[in-house]
Chain A
């Protein structure tokens, strides 16, 4: 068996699979890339050929325009593909956003799983994470501190709806990222019985339309910019987090500012941003999920791409699992910036 260290290398461009001759989520433009999901820090512009799920390719096409890959090769979950010098590759759902995938690579008897970003909490807008037993598990560590334990999303949605009932005349503006978080919130709200229109900041419209065209039903969505001020009284409005602090939110009358993010678990984070209703809803694995996932894939060795790697590696060490920090600079540690 060839140890993965001998064929999966950390380069300035990112993680490189030598026998396949391609990069996984490269940080710079490359000739051939495998992309786990379409968030901006993982799906960069300028690659020539990209292998990814069909949904990821569609989102990249829509977002990157001229920077979209010249050649996109879609691959369904579970479809085996032979690549380069005898590499077998397939994609497995990561549960992060629509189209997100873990990349499974096998070469000369050893198996690596590159999970990209992932979560274990239920998400009606994408396929659920599936653990794959492997020799090396490559993971993120965005929320790798034991203080990050995300509550069930339904509980957070219930808090939001309770607030809307208590303040029926105030509009509730929820900051959320355009890709994934926004659509997940809408789906969670629909699942909780919210059938009324949901108003969207202009920056959120295109991806919602794309999700719908890819088969994710989101119900009655309306552009907030076209709404009369009276329509937005007591309404539910979604906007990118950056819009909460600027003039855009100020045109609403005494809104309740909410933000849906895993960081909202720490009070100081919410306070510093002037958030009145912090909603702990994250598209990343929390501390318990990171540890449970490592156990589920039964990997004797775990490589950590980005985040609080020292804490995760310390915890793994206590259980006899070898951890290695890849220190790939360029993935968002903050979740906030990933649009």
Chain B
């Protein structure tokens, strides 16, 4: 457990991607099987463990510490698992067993025996092992490592034997502690079998289109499609049971039983998950309602019916179509769709265009809520994992902008915990500021410090972690869209609002009025 605890500790504090990869790589290189496989599972979120509630941690701590001292300590540290880990008395325990032994013990222990097991482990370990254990069983590793980054580290370890995409290709057919995967990566065994269970195939991604490439976009070379404002999904129905994956390979099947109920075919499809009311595609905010719910009830399913708008086909009846050019796949997709006619799905139409100027006009006019811009796909491009330069372009419509006034600020979390980094901004309506949104992003570190200092100097009231500030700072807010919303006081909800610029130069009275925003509504 020591090595895993040390890894978590360093990952927590290392902001750099390269550093995180180096730390992971070293861990995978030096830890034995099956310890490292469970470590990989814990980091990528595939480890199924019995979880402990905070109340159990408190009860355990109460047996080993004075209540008053515990309360003062918790108040000071601010994190329950960390408080218990630090304050638990050291006994010359000689260290916890390895991660695999700990995981297996947790998996095999019946619930009533859990407290005794935990107390024994806490006694055996040191503070850093205790923290790793407690974070593991409370499900809060939070080390800022995505599954993708862990695979990048595995690929680094493979030294050319396995690429990130090749690892991605088989990843979802593997289970902790990933013995076969490590054997392949270290060159001791052939690649593990990827077929069989329905699993995720790494998706093809697009580069943003810049002005330099405009000249290359001709109807002879490229097809155009709308870029939909939902989430990219993959329907993996090559074997039963079918599954629905997000673009990040997260299995979201349980959240979308309505979509999966319509899957009665043998194919792997690429498309956009959307909420549809009759013919109208709903805003992203509606989709958010479904994404937030791991197991939706009947009412939610009826209120926000989901569908998938298809744009590519990867496998049909076991045949891998990915090597085919886009046009050929498109023809297969259309033929397949005409034949199967699946419920809760439709085809994302091709958008015909005569030349680039015509396309640019379409791009500029795209204001429908559900459209984020255009996708441009080379007609002769095979379906390749990752971002292949020149094959697919995304051409997002330009962000909308308003000048708003900072109203409230709140402390951030994690790395930004000591700064005021979450901002509520408002627009004028009849001489009064009405809050219209919150921004957490878009600023540089230097701007964050500046904002933090400004906020501390201009606070007019405090409510817990929130500060109200004098209406004197103008923020230029960029956002991708605006929808009517009854949940917001202003009647409008912004999509992806972020701070484009600090307008220190602009008097607050000259910030925009709410009407300006209302006029932008689709």
In the bound complex, do residue B13 and residue A277 qualify as a contact, i.e. CB atoms below 8 Å apart?
yes
Q: Is the CB of B127 within 8 A of A151?
A: yes
Question: Scoring A residues 141 to 185 as 1 if CB is less than 8 Å from chain B, else 0, what string do you get?
Answer: 000011111010000000100010011000000000000000000
Chain A CB within 10 Å — which of B13, B126, B414 has the most? B13
Contact check: which of A166, A267, A315 meets B66 at CB < 8 Å? A315
Mask, A242-256, CB within 8 Å of B = 1, is 000000000000101
Interface members, chain A 253-287 (any B CB < 8 Å): 254, 256, 265-268, 270-272, 274-278
Cβ < 8 Å to B, chain A residues 285-337: 308, 310-311, 314-315, 318
- A42 CB, nearest partner CB in chain B, Å: 25
In Å, the complex CA distance between A265 and B90 comes to 15
Using Cβ atoms and an 8 Å threshold, which residues of chain B touch A167? 19, 22
Known: A147-B83, A266-B77. A318 touches B13 (CB 8 A): no
Q: Which residue of A lies closest to B419 (CB)?
A: A272
CA distance A199 to B418 in the complex (A): 31
B76 within 8 A of A: yes
- Closest beta carbon of chain B to A152's beta carbon, Å: 10
The CA-CA distance from A162 to B295 in the complex, in Å, is 45
Q: Is the CB of A266 within 8 A of B82?
A: yes
Q: Is the CB of B127 within 8 A of A146?
A: no
Query: In the complex, what residues of A have CB within 8 A of residue B13's CB?
Result: 267, 270-271, 275-278
Distance in angstroms between the alpha carbons of A98 and B259 in the assembled complex: 72
A310 touches B72 (CB 8 A): yes
Q: Please determine whether B90 and A149 come into contact, CB atoms closer than 8 angstroms.
A: yes
Q: Does B417 contact A (CB under 8 A)?
A: yes
Which residues of the partner chain B approach A265 to less than 8 Å between Cβ atoms?
A: 86
Chain A nearest CB, measured from B364 CB (Å): 42
B31 touches A (CB below 8 Å):
no
CB contacts (< 8 Å) of B424 on chain A: these are none
Contact flag A145-B127 (CB < 8 Å), given A267-B12, A271-B13: no
CA distance A166 to B90 in the complex (A): 29
Nearest CB of chain B from residue A16's CB, rounded to whole Å? 31
A272 with B73, Cβ < 8 A, contacts A149-B90, A277-B13 known: no
Measured in the bound complex, the distance between the Cα atoms of B11 and A163 in whole Å is 12
Say which size band chain A's interface belongs to: 20 to 34
Bound-state Cα–Cα, A23 to B68, Å: 35
Tell me if B15 counts as interface (CB < 8 A to partner A).
yes
User: What mask results when residues 7 to 32 of chain B are scored 1 for a CB within 8 Å of chain A, else 0?
Assistant: 00010111110010011001000000
* Contact call A271/B76, Cβ cutoff below 8 A: no
- Distance between Cα atoms of A75 and B214 in the complex (Å): 83
User: What are the residues of chain A within 8 A of B22 when measuring CB–CB?
Assistant: 166-167
Q: Give Cα distance in the complex from A46 to B65, angstroms.
A: 46
Partner of B69, one of A145, A267, A271: A145
In the complex, the answer to whether A145 meets B79 with C-beta atoms within 8 Å is no
Bound-state Cα–Cα, A324 to B15, Å: 44
Instruction: Tell yes or no: B87 within 8 A of A by CB.
Output: yes
Query: Are B417 and A145 within 8 A (Cβ)?
Result: no
Contact of B77 among A147, A256, A318 (CB under 8 A): A147
What is the bound-complex CA distance between A270 and B14, given in angstroms? Answer: 11
Residues of B within 8 A of A268 (CB): 77-79, 417-418
Chain B residues positioned under 8 Å from A151 (CB to CB):
126-127
Determine whether the beta carbon of B415 is less than 8 Å from that of A271: yes
- In Å, the complex CA distance between A268 and B14 comes to 14
Q: Is the CB of A315 within 8 A of B77?
A: no
Beta-carbon contact of B69 and A314 below 8 Å: yes
Check B26–A272 contact: CB distance below 8 A: no
CA distance A166 to B79 in the complex (A): 30
Q: How far is the CB of A160 from chain B (nearest CB, A)?
A: 12
- Which B456-470 residues sit within 8 Å CB-CB of chain A? none
Chain B residues 33-66 with CB under 8 Å of chain A are: 65-66
Pair B66/A145 contact, Cβ less than 8 Å: no
Residue with the highest number of chain B CB atoms closer than 10 Å, among A254, A276, A310: A276
Contacts of A159 in B (CB 8 A): 6
Which residues in A have their C-beta under 8 angstroms from that of B90? 149
Instruction: Give the chain A neighbours of B76 by CB distance below 8 A.
Output: 145, 147, 266
Enumerate chain B residues within 8 angstroms of A270, measured Cβ to Cβ: 13
User: Which residues of chain B in 280-316 are interfacial with respect to chain A, using CB atoms and an 8 Å cutoff?
Assistant: none
Partner of A315, one of B10, B69, B86, B414: B69
Give complex CA distance A151, B86 in Å.
11
Task: Known contacts A146-B69, A167-B19; decide if A272 and B417 are in contact (CB<8 Å).
Answer: yes
B126: which A residues are within 8 A, CB to CB? 151
B23 cross-chain contacts in A, Cβ below 8 A = 166
Q: Which residues of B contact A278 (CB under 8 A)?
A: 13
**Contact string against A for B residues 458-495, beta-carbon threshold 8 Å, 1 for contact and 0 otherwise:** 00000000000000000000000000000000000000
Name the distance in Å between A256's Cβ and chain B's nearest Cβ: 8
Closest beta carbon of chain B to A295's beta carbon, Å: 16
Cross-chain contact B72 with A267 (CB below 8 angstroms)? no
Which residues of chain A are near B86, meaning CB under 8 Å? 146-149, 265-266
CA distance A151 to B12 in the complex (A): 19
Q: Are B72 and A145 in contact (CB under 8 A)?
A: yes
Q: Which of B78, B79, B87 has a CB less than 8 Å from the CB of A146? A: B87
Task: Give A149 to B77 CA distance when docked, in angstroms.
Answer: 13
Q: Are A272 and B418 in contact (CB under 8 A)?
A: yes
* CB-nearest residue of chain A to B65: A146
Residue of A nearest to B72 (CB): A311
Q: Write out, one digit per residue, whether chain B residues 79-91 have a CB within 8 A of any chain A CB (1) or not (0).
A: 1001100110010
Which B residues between 83 and 123 are near A, CB-CB below 8 angstroms? 83, 86-87, 90
Which one of A145, A146, A159 has the greatest number of beta carbons of chain B within 10 Å?
Answer: A146
Within 8 Å CB of B12, what residues of A? 267
Which residues in A have their C-beta under 8 angstroms from that of B6? 159
A263 to B132, CA, bound (A): 19
Q: How far is the CA of A256 from the CA of B65 in the complex (A)?
A: 36
A267 to B6, CA, bound (A): 14
Tell me the complex Cα distance, A145–B82, Å: 14
**Cross-interface CB contact of B16 among A146, A149, A254, cutoff 8 Å:** A254
- Shortest CB–CB separation between residue A217 and chain B, in angstroms? 32
Q: List 30 contacting pairs A-B, 8 Å CB cutoff, sorted by A.
A: A145-B69, A145-B72, A146-B65, A146-B73, A146-B87, A147-B73, A147-B86, A147-B87, A148-B86, A149-B86, A149-B127, A151-B126, A151-B127, A166-B22, A166-B26, A254-B16, A266-B82, A267-B12, A267-B13, A268-B78, A268-B79, A271-B414, A271-B418, A275-B13, A276-B14, A277-B10, A278-B13, A314-B66, A314-B68, A318-B66
Taking Cβ atoms with an 8 Å cutoff, the residues of B that contact A are 6, 10, 12-16, 19, 22-23, 26, 65-66, 68-70, 72-73, 76-79, 82-83, 86-87, 90, 126-127, 414-415, 417-418
Top-7 shortest CB links A-B: A272-B418, A147-B86, A146-B87, A147-B73, A147-B87, A276-B13, A145-B73
Beyond the given A147-B86, A149-B86, A270-B13, please list 4 additional residue pairs across the A-B interface where CB-CB is below 8 A. A147-B76, A272-B417, A278-B13, A314-B66
